[in-house]
Chains A and B, each alone.
Chain A
Amino acid sequence: MKRLQSNLPNMFLSLTLICVASGAILASVNMKTLEPIKATQEKILQQAIKDVTPEFNNNPAAESYMAVTSDGDSLKIYPAKKDGQFVGAAVESNTEKGFGGKIEVMVGFDAKGKLLNYTVLKHSETPGLGAKMQEWFRMNKNKQSVLGRDLTKGNLKVTKDGGDVDAITAATISSRAFLNAVNRAYSAYASTDAQSGASAQSADSTSINKGGQQQ
């Protein structure tokens, strides 16, 4: 069979048919993978919340709300409740100050504003240097660990900037960025639950309000 001539109808038909076929294939694959993709993303989120908050038995993802940070941005907060009692929250925070761009972390606080745990969701820091932040800031060595820190006393800073957190060796920029994300998380957390006993109340009322809007 000879190759088709390059005249307008031939070219038009050939390209159109190829594009239609390709579109059909992609649509069917998309339909098949849409559910699994959603499910895995949900699972990753649930796992991250579970990793950083105290034990809870509500559904934080369903009760999540936005809160304003001190620098005017807003972050998503996932409140954790045990038998209706507010026990803490996970804050999905981020920063643009990373060495390789955006860093996304999930930071967990207890009801008193103490940092419980964190997990790095996304980053593009240098492998072997800044990329160590997932392990570095939880290691109980010198002043490395940020776990259990009380942020009510002020923001966390690396020792080089006069703070009391040891930066990752040879990755001060990444460390600063990481702490920036943590501080932002706390400022969002503090803005909604005014530190004191009112915290449980305000969190509750927000979720009730939300429920009310849905009805």
Chain B
Amino acid sequence: MSNLKILLNGLITENPTFVLILGMCPTLATTTSGLNGMSMGLATAFVLICSNMVISALKNVIPDMVHIPAYIVVIATFVTVVQMCMQAFVPELYSKLGLFIPLIVVNCIVLGRAESFAAKHSVINSAFDGIGIGLGFAGALTLLGSLRELLGTGKVFGLTLMPEQYGSLIFVLAPGAFIVLGYLVAIMNKLRKA
């Protein structure tokens, strides 16, 4: 598999959100605005890329019977690094995403890619897989967040695109997350088959 193919595989063919429907908890909960979605996506992407590379490099020195705890320690380390950096340098974003940053540790996309890809491929390939899947996830969250923000408040990334009274609050709340996600998955399915 060429690196480009791995990259596109993560971005489109196996997009974690729209095709694999993985990691729904942070996807639904943090996409109340475009910026929140994007930040959550990028934080996850960073953890994914780093953990994929490290796990791929260490795959031969981790005995099979302890591979899950070993992977979790690696992933948790990167998540904590992200968390401390966010707390120090972007405190506002940190207070909004709050609990969902530490929860990246148990995000099934991260552990899933470690198990199914990084543990079997070279470091370079795993890095590209991390970038592909990570950006696929970040892109999906940004799109979902922007759409919810637009439909709910008439803004995208704080930029007013339509008057607020045309927005319907339900899209910012939990039900809106399911509705918008459902339609996006349907559209993506249609596009992929066309």
Question: How many B residues are at the interface, by size bracket?
Answer: 20 to 34
* Bound complex: CA A175 to CA B2 (Å): 58
Please state if B172 and A36 are interface contacts (CB–CB under 8 Å).
Answer: no
Q: Is B22 an interface residue (CB 8 A)?
A: no
* Bound complex: CA A142 to CA B66 (Å): 65
Please state if A14 and B63 are interface contacts (CB–CB under 8 Å).
Answer: yes
Please state if A6 and B77 are interface contacts (CB–CB under 8 Å).
Answer: no
What residues of chain B lie closer than 8 Å to A129, measured between beta carbons?
A: 169
Q: Is B8 an interface residue (CB 8 A)?
A: no
Main secondary structure of the interface of B (DSSP, over half): helix
CB-based nearest A residue for B164: A128
Question: How many A residues are at the interface, by size bracket?
Answer: 20 to 34
Residues 1-35 of A contacting B (Cβ, < 8 Å): 1-7, 10-11, 14-15, 18-19, 22, 25-26, 29-30, 33
CB-based nearest A residue for B81: A29
Tell me whether A26 and B81 are in contact in the complex, defined as CB-CB below 8 angstroms, given that A3-B59, A3-B63, A4-B62 are known contacts. yes
Residues 150-188 of B contacting A (Cβ, < 8 Å): 152-153, 169, 172-173
* Bound complex: CA A71 to CA B46 (Å): 47
The residue that B66 contacts in the complex, of A11, A36, A40, A128, with Cβ under 8 A, is A11
Q: Is A197 an interface residue (CB 8 A)?
A: no
Please state if B91 and A14 are interface contacts (CB–CB under 8 Å).
Answer: no
What residues of chain A lie closer than 8 Å to B69, measured between beta carbons?
A: 15
What residues of chain A lie closer than 8 Å to B65, measured between beta carbons?
A: 6, 11
What residues of chain A lie closer than 8 Å to B32, measured between beta carbons?
A: 127
Main secondary structure of the interface of A (DSSP, over half): helix
Please state if B63 and A30 are interface contacts (CB–CB under 8 Å).
Answer: no
Please state if A11 and B63 are interface contacts (CB–CB under 8 Å).
Answer: yes
CB-defined interface of B62-106 with A at 8 Å, one 1/0 digit per residue? Answer: 111110011001101100110011011101000100000000000
Minimum Cβ distance to chain B for residue A134 (Å): 13
Q: Is A122 an interface residue (CB 8 A)?
A: yes
Tell me whether A36 and B73 are in contact in the complex, defined as CB-CB below 8 angstroms, given that A6-B64, A128-B172 are known contacts. no
What residues of chain B lie closer than 8 Å to A6, measured between beta carbons?
A: 63-66
Residues 81-140 of B contacting A (Cβ, < 8 Å): 81, 84-85, 87-89, 91, 95
Please state if A25 and B88 are interface contacts (CB–CB under 8 Å).
Answer: no
CB-based nearest A residue for B66: A11
Minimum Cβ distance to chain A for residue B78 (Å): 9
What residues of chain B lie closer than 8 Å to A44, measured between beta carbons?
A: 91
B59, B62, B87 — most chain A CB neighbours (10 Å):
B62
CB-based nearest A residue for B170: A128
* Bound complex: CA A6 to CA B84 (Å): 34
* Bound complex: CA A18 to CA B69 (Å): 10
* Bound complex: CA A156 to CA B188 (Å): 52
What residues of chain A lie closer than 8 Å to B64, measured between beta carbons?
A: 3, 6
Q: Is A139 an interface residue (CB 8 A)?
A: no
Interchain residue pairs with CB less than 8 A apart (21)? A3-B60, A6-B65, A10-B63, A11-B65, A15-B73, A18-B74, A22-B76, A25-B77, A25-B81, A26-B80, A29-B80, A29-B85, A36-B88, A37-B84, A37-B87, A40-B88, A40-B89, A126-B173, A127-B32, A128-B152, A128-B173
Footprint of A on B, CB under 8 Å? 32, 58-66, 69-70, 73-74, 76-77, 80-81, 84-85, 87-89, 91, 95, 152-153, 169, 172-173
- Which 7 pairs from chain A and chain B are nearest by CB? A36-B88, A6-B65, A6-B63, A22-B77, A33-B88, A33-B84, A128-B169
Footprint of B on A, CB under 8 Å? 1-7, 10-11, 14-15, 18-19, 22, 25-26, 29-30, 33, 36-37, 40-41, 44, 122, 126-129
